[in-house]
Copies of this chain bind each other. A is one copy, B any other.
Amino acid sequence: MATDRATAGTADSGRVEAFSDGAFAIAITLLILEINVPAAHSGSELWHELGEQWPSYCAYVVSFLVIGVMWVNHHTVFTYIARVDRTLVFLNLLLLLVVAALPFPTALVAENLREPEASNVATAVYGAVMVAHAVTFALLWYHVAPTGPGGACAPPSTAGRAVVQCPQVAERRSRPGRVRGIPLPHPLPHRFAESPCQMVKKC
């Protein structure tokens, strides 16, 4: 889709989101390929072999939900972004590099979960990838909203960066009693929670 490029050096965020959605969807779906398919002659043998693989099922469910939450967070951040500059595109690419790598530590944990020593190593690697994701996500977020609470809503002409759409007043009326989302481990909602007024005022 050709964009009208209203702002200098930026592009519409739509295609970045489409590409990210594709990468997230593929990473989340490739997880199942890491589970071996057993073949057996008797029923009890097959049950046994299927049962033996429980770490693979756990790893699949955990990593699926982890990538899912990453996608929800990514989705939430991009609802505040109307246009992207080139730096944001590359920060997003760095984020996807970590997300797309997740099937590897997932399979590593599944393979080594029953060996006490090796499982420590595998979970350390898994944790390191999680940390790498948190770092790339924070880099992306601080590029979008660099000047503290309220800064995200500075108008595009002065910001010269990724243009952030202002959350509307209706946003503040969300009733947490009805909409119970899983709390995000990222600074995004807290920043917005701290200063909804400033942000709305600046826009």
- Contacts A9-B174, A61-B97, A121-B50 known; A15 to B75 CB distance under 8 Å? yes
Interface 1/0 per residue, A34-61 and B, CB below 8 Å: 1101111111111100100000000011
Q: Is the CB of A160 within 8 A of B181?
A: no
Whole-angstrom distance between the alpha carbons of A65 and B91 in the complex?
Answer: 11
Instruction: Write the nearest CB–CB distance from A188 to chain B, whole angstroms.
Output: 13
Determine whether A130 belongs to the interface, using a CB cutoff of 8 Å to chain B. Answer: no
Whole-angstrom distance between the alpha carbons of A117 and B48 in the complex?
Answer: 13
Q: DSSP class of A's interface residues: helix, strand, loop or mixed?
A: helix
18 A-B pairs (CB sep. < 8 Å)? A3-B79, A7-B170, A21-B22, A22-B25, A27-B29, A31-B100, A32-B103, A37-B107, A41-B115, A41-B117, A43-B120, A50-B121, A64-B97, A72-B90, A85-B179, A85-B181, A87-B179, A89-B181
